[in-house]
Structure 1
Amino acid sequence: MSQVIIRSFEEFEKFNGQQIGSSDYFKITQDQINLFADATHDHQWIHTNPERAKKEGAFGNTIAHGYLTLSIVPHLWEQIVDVRNLKMMINYGIESLRFASPVLVDQEVKLHATLKSVMNLRGTVKAEVQVKLEIKDQKKPAFTGVLIFLYHFMD
């Protein structure tokens, strides 16, 4: 994996309409799922009860919360892009998010990112990034969507 370094709107603009890159694989563990359940108060058995999930669940094991898979995006995004010279970055929105396939416990996921568009809005850079969270050895991704970031560069 080679990380892209971005320091300005002009450097972002070079990737407009292009794939920026992909992260490393990241394993989703039962401990992570349980901690996420505690943080969000979502203790549904399909996430937190391995024995019941194996017996009664549709997937043969526990699955990660969809929002857990989404919440690891900042970690994976930072493996793809190192945005420097920043005053501030804001997560502005998500468009067209679709959870296509569940991520089972101990599966590995990888983020793929394409710069859909980048605009300079009077000094604030709005980047729309098309993302896909691949599940290792699976045809369907965990999710697809467009993440919108606002970057405020130093100069």
Structure 2
Amino acid sequence: MQAFDGPEALAAALGQELGVGGWITVDQAMIDRFAEATGDRQWIHVDPERAARESPYGTTVAHGYLTLSLVPQFIAELRRLDGLRLSLNYGLDRVRFPAPVLAGARLRGRVRLAAATPVPPRGLRVTYGVTVEIEGQERPACLADAVVLHHW
């Protein structure tokens, strides 16, 4: 984990990869909890028997937004912001889901500091380029540019 003690230190890492995190298993229980929380209960996500019969994947798949919801966790795992007062999600500039996440798959985040814009007096608007990798797969599950406003 990299530690940064202020906006200047974080901005100095512009263009660098912050690292690659540990694996997270996306099991059926996680998919079911996400479906319940969001109301998105399509059979492709929550009905393993039907998915085994009718899905081209032979099993259920995680919601794309479930994968996307893991992005802040992947970022936080790889960097520490010492002295930070608060962070706010600012938005997303780009999101793609190149490959499905099958139930039971393991994911991890590869994070780089793609952009950093000062926000006076002691803030920094940061774009983290996140690639969500699937263990054993060539294509990633998700590519996202997550924008976060940090205030020291």
Q: What is the TM-score when the length of structure 2 is the normalising length?
A: 0.96
- SS for the counterpart of 1:43 is coil
The whole-number CA distance in structure 1 between the counterparts of 2:14 and 2:75 is 16
- SS for the counterpart of 2:85 is strand
The whole-number CA distance in structure 1 between the counterparts of 2:11 and 2:74 is 21
- Off by >6 Å, runs of 4+ in structure 1: none
**CA shift for structure 1 position 14:** 2.1
Q: Which blocks of at least 5 consecutive residues in structure 2 are unaligned?
A: none
The whole-number CA distance in structure 1 between the counterparts of 2:5 and 2:65 is 30
Q: Which blocks of at least 5 consecutive residues in structure 1 are unaligned?
A: none
Percent identity over the alignment? 33
Pair 1:71-2:69 in alignment = yes
Which one of the candidate residues 93, 96, 117 is aligned to 1:119? 117
Q: Which residue of 2 aligns with 1:134?
A: 133
**CA shift for structure 1 position 6:** 1.6
Q: Which residue of 1 aligns with 2:39?
A: 41
Number of equivalent positions: 151
Conserved 8 A contact 2:59-2:103 = yes
Q: Which amino acid aligns with 2:71?
A: V
Q: Which residue of 2 aligns with 1:107?
A: 105
- SS for the counterpart of 2:40 is coil
Q: Which amino acid aligns with 1:52?
A: R
- SS for the counterpart of 1:86 is coil
- SS for the counterpart of 1:31 is helix
Q: What is the TM-score when the length of structure 1 is the normalising length?
A: 0.94
- SS for the counterpart of 1:129 is strand
**CA shift for structure 1 position 94:** 0.5
Q: Which residue of 2 aligns with 1:148?
A: 147
Deviation track 1:50-98 (CA, whole Å, cap 9, x = no partner) reads 0100110011100000000111122222111112211110010101211
The whole-number CA distance in structure 1 between the counterparts of 2:143 and 2:74 is 14
RMSD, aligned α-carbons: 0.9
The whole-number CA distance in structure 2 between the counterparts of 1:87 and 1:9 is 12
